[in-house]
Amino acid sequence: MGRYATASAKVRRELLDEARRLNINISELIRSALEDEVRKRRLMLLEERLRAKKAILEKIDVNDVVRLIREDREAR
């Protein structure tokens, strides 16, 4: 297992009391929510990077790539 750190947040007392009354595992809920949010943000960053690369790749002519590969193979 990895190293752990403590994260804390202030919530209304009533909310905390109600969560405890409902037997909500607060630590697990926070851990799960944080993991989900990190996963979501990573995906968003990857999508942004993909869009940026897509704009670059769209400028490349596939026929030129095919021609260059053929020329390279024939030169060997």
Confidence band for 55, pLDDT divided at 50, 70 and 90: confident
Evaluate whether residue 6 is within a structural domain: no
Strands (E), 1-76: none
Parent domain of 25: 13-75
* Mean pLDDT (the chain, rounded): 93
Confidence band for 70, pLDDT divided at 50, 70 and 90: very high
The Cα angle at residue 36 between residues 31 and 37, in degrees rounded to 5: 100
* Residues belonging to the chain: 76
Evaluate whether residue 5 is within a structural domain: no
What's the domain count of the chain?
Answer: 1
Evaluate whether residue 67 is within a structural domain: yes
Confidence band for 10, pLDDT divided at 50, 70 and 90: very high
What pTM value is reported for the model? 0.67
- Residue 21: its H or E element: helix 13-21
